[in-house]
Structure 1
Amino acid sequence: MKNLSKVTALALLISVSGGVVSTSAVAAPNYAEIEKRKNAKTKVMGERVGKKVVKAFELYEAEDIDGAIAVLKELDPSDRFDKATVDRYLGQLYAQKDNYQLAIKHIRDAVKPDVLNFNDQEQSMKLIGDLLANTKKYKEAKQAYIDWMDFTGEEDATVYTRIAQANYELGLFKDVVQPAERAIELNAKGEPKKAPFSLLMGAYYETKDFPNVVKVGERMVKSWPEDKKSWTNLGRFYMQVEDYSKGLNIMDIAYDNGYLESETDYKVLAQLYSFVGIPYKAGFHMEKAVNEGKVERTKPNVTAIASYYHNAKNIKTAAKYYEEAAKFDNDAELFRKAGSLRLQEQQFDKAVALLNKALDLGSDKEGQIYSDLAEAYLQQEKYKQAYAAISKAAEDPSTRKFARSWKTFIKDKAQRNGVSL
């Protein structure tokens, strides 16, 4: 913890009050008064109250929290310090029983007269903030933390993180940035903490400020180079801002180090290879992930493999996966694609079977299918079937012009080979 500077106090004021100066919201420590409080003579409880408190503490040590509470509730001290001390202990005990409403009430009663010793007062003030945050009273929690900074004149990374968390929960995403950044700065000399980074990233993400999401992701990778999620998240963020080359570099490093864990991770890697114009590697990684069980063997995933290989002009493999994908639910279009690619492979029997399957399932691309069938039959010198198919293609407006010219060509070739149509 360190003293709260005037600049920080002003920045915090702008953050928590939306830019409106409010004396109730700004941390404005009076350092002379703080030193006076710290150096004040330590107060002690009266004898009667002190004995009861000792008894309550003994019950607490014996894990009898209810008994300890009962003993303290018997007390009704007239001395303000004694009463504040009893309320403080009651609040702490109720908090341990998760009775936050009573805990808040008693801790507030303890803090309100401002008679506790300095350390007890400041710890209680911070506890109020924590309890209010636990009960989702985030606006009040923020003010409690501001009051704590006002009282102590100190800054604490955890307190700033909790203020950032409160703003996040309240949907004040822009107000998350300043306290989260200050928490990160205060943590910089020791072990970095992920919480303020996560809040900062979340706030930028919620406001769709993806360039800043990327910047936070880059900082997290530098701070936690062995954290798997930091790498894979950054790869996705680069893809979000369409910086595919950097995204691929990051995901490649993550892949080589065994950091990819989720199905999405492997899909992102494949997509990035596709986006940078390396579809074969996209297909290779997606195929490998599916075969190894890293990615579920579903129709969309198998179709993606087929599409990647198709773009890479790996016709044989693409046809295989289109056919596999088509069989999940008898997809006419995928059977058509598989048949078309088998035709390119010169596997004419397979092409005919797949293309006819697409027709049987009611494809809406009949003209294209009949055109491919005509070619497959022609290559097999099945002129009558080829002519029948091209005649059907000529009935479709989308393939009519092409089919008419081919129709004449097929008829002439059949006649030259002694086949009457």
Structure 2
Amino acid sequence: MKKHLKHLCVVSVMSVATIIPASVYAQASAPIACPDYKRGATNIPGQKVGKKVGKALEAYNEDLVDEALTILYEIDTSDTFDRAFADNFIGKLLASQTGKAKKAIEYLQKSVAPNKLNDSEQVQTIKLIADLSLQEEEYDSAIKYYQQWMKVTCKEDFDVYFRMANAYYQTQKYADIIAPINKAIALADKPNKTAYALKMTSYYNRKMYKETIEVQEETVRIFPDDKAQWTQLGFFYMLVEDHKKALSTFEMAYNQGYLVKAAEFKALSQLYSMNDIPIKAAQILEKHVKSGIIKKDERMLTSIASSYQQAKEFKEAADFYGQSALLGSDPDLYQKQGMVYYALERYSDAIVSLQKALDGGSDKTGAIHLAMMQANFDKGDFRSAYKHVLEAKKDNSTARNARSWEPYIKEKAKNRGIKL
């Protein structure tokens, strides 16, 4: 920006100080593209002002900016063009200095107000005011001067439209972003990722999720190698609960090696669960817990166990419930492990886990005793089964079920000659 401003200062002063012949200046590309535009006569400062400007330029070329400004501040003239020219030079010098942008804008605004500068200088300065206003977060002013530049020049420019859209974004005028950003996208020499992001954000912040997704789908098509675009599209599908498209998108990203964050792997696992593929949900989490990308904690191990249980992979489910129980303090995890062992017909292991749940203070005592009764019954230990059915009768939530089991256990024990 500073180099650009220095170039502007030198060119603007030299072009009107007759260093460049007027005939050459006239041959330059027209600063205004309006159909009825005719280039005006080239103005130059009066002799008195011209001398001051020359001295200021000499100081400036020696990097003595403060000295150059002092000379320019001394200019006292009633001529409208001379005043505008001096203010313009002052404004550009101030803009090249750190922290002087606001003051620079004031001088530049004064210089364009009477519309007396040479055409190229006038339109160039209008655009500079807009750029400086954007830099200084004076967004409404930036928009005003960008619009003025387009009106005066009848030109369309990617940067101008893009910066206008950005100014609207900064002022949270999300609906106003669309018109300029569409123009910017159309004028871009090559696809601009940030332009598409601004367009998407406009819709997203207005909760227009259908349009948000359409823009993001287009972004993925244009920038297929950008990892972040894929996952963002997947999350948008999740937002509108299109879980099939979300899974398809995340799977494609995963297969291309685009998923790198814990949240992304968790999302893929969640989508497998939502699409009734629990085995893959468990495997994704297990793999990336082992790799260290996903933190190994009670919650994550329980999620893996639950997915394996849903997939009827009971051995793995029991293992992960056990790991989770060791890391955490929830006795119900031992109950879940016990029930999985029961499904595997590993009754002794089930009883051990269920007892740990009781010892850990689970409040589901009735259900646990009932499960221990069933495990003992199935392994042929009717005395222990009877003991647990009596305990299960004490819990209102399991009493009815326990009472129905009690005579059955007694009968089986009697038939086997076992005294309870």
Aligned equivalents of 2:174 and 2:378: distance in 1? 66
Listed as ranges, the gaps of 5+ residues in structure 2 are: 1-31
Does 2:42 align with 1:42? yes
SS in 2 for 1:90: helix
Amino acid at match of 2:99: D
Q: 2:256 — aligned with what?
A: 257
Paired residues of 2:413 and 2:419 also in contact (CA < 8 A): yes
Q: 1:138 — aligned with what?
A: 139
Amino acid at match of 1:133: L
Does 2:173 align with 1:172? yes
User: Which protein shows a greater Rg?
Assistant: 2
Aligned equivalents of 1:316 and 1:355: distance in 2? 16
Paired residues of 1:231 and 1:254 also in contact (CA < 8 A): yes
Q: Pick from 31, 34, 38: which aligns with 1:31?
A: 34
Q: 2:81 — aligned with what?
A: 81
Q: 1:245 — aligned with what?
A: 244
Alpha-carbon deviation of 1:226?
A: 1.0
Aligned equivalents of 2:137 and 2:245: distance in 1? 39
Alpha-carbon deviation of 1:67?
A: 4.0
1:6-43 CA-to-partner distances (Å, cap 9, x unmatched) read xxxxxxxxxxxxxxxxxxxxxxx99356x12xx12222
User: Structure 1 residues 110, 373: CA separation in 2 closer, same or farther (over 3 Å shift)?
Assistant: same
Overall identity of the aligned pairs, in %: 38
Amino acid at match of 1:83: R
Which TM-score applies when normalising by structure 1? 0.84
Alpha-carbon deviation of 1:419?
A: 2.9
Alpha-carbon deviation of 1:278?
A: 1.3
Alpha-carbon deviation of 1:224?
A: 0.9
Aligned equivalents of 1:364 and 1:83: distance in 2? 87
Aligned equivalents of 2:57 and 2:371: distance in 1? 89
Does 2:93 align with 1:93? yes
Paired residues of 1:183 and 1:196 also in contact (CA < 8 A): yes
User: Structure 1 residues 57, 218: CA separation in 2 closer, same or farther (over 3 Å shift)?
Assistant: farther
Alpha-carbon deviation of 1:50?
A: 4.3
Q: How do 1:19-418 residues align onto structure 2 when only pairs under 5 Å count?
A: 31=34, 35-36=37-38, 39-57=39-57, 59-60=59-60, 63-96=63-96, 97-187=98-188, 190-418=189-417
SS in 2 for 1:363: coil
User: Structure 1 residues 69, 295: CA separation in 2 closer, same or farther (over 3 Å shift)?
Assistant: farther
Q: Which has the higher contact order (CA 8 A, sep 6+)?
A: 1
Listed as ranges, the gaps of 5+ residues in structure 1 are: 1-28
Aligned equivalents of 2:61 and 2:253: distance in 1? 50
Aligned equivalents of 2:106 and 2:183: distance in 1? 31
User: Cα RMSD (Å) of the superposition?
Assistant: 2.4
Aligned equivalents of 1:235 and 1:261: distance in 2? 14
Aligned equivalents of 2:68 and 2:334: distance in 1? 76
1:386-417 CA-to-partner distances (Å, cap 9, x unmatched) read 22222222222332222222222222223333
User: Structure 1 residues 379, 144: CA separation in 2 closer, same or farther (over 3 Å shift)?
Assistant: same
Aligned equivalents of 1:343 and 1:60: distance in 2? 88
Amino acid at match of 1:367: G
Paired residues of 2:33 and 2:155 also in contact (CA < 8 A): no
1:155-191 CA-to-partner distances (Å, cap 9, x unmatched) read 222222222222222222222222222221222xx21
Paired residues of 2:374 and 2:385 also in contact (CA < 8 A): yes
Aligned equivalents of 1:77 and 1:129: distance in 2? 27
Paired residues of 1:161 and 1:195 also in contact (CA < 8 A): no
Alpha-carbon deviation of 1:77?
A: 4.1
Alpha-carbon deviation of 1:64?
A: 4.6
Q: State the aligned residue count.
A: 388
Aligned structure 1 segments of 4 or more residues deviating by more than 6 angstroms: none
Which TM-score applies when normalising by structure 2? 0.84
Paired residues of 2:139 and 2:170 also in contact (CA < 8 A): yes
User: Structure 1 residues 274, 50: CA separation in 2 closer, same or farther (over 3 Å shift)?
Assistant: farther
Paired residues of 2:185 and 2:192 also in contact (CA < 8 A): yes
Aligned equivalents of 1:101 and 1:138: distance in 2? 13
Aligned equivalents of 1:69 and 1:278: distance in 2? 72
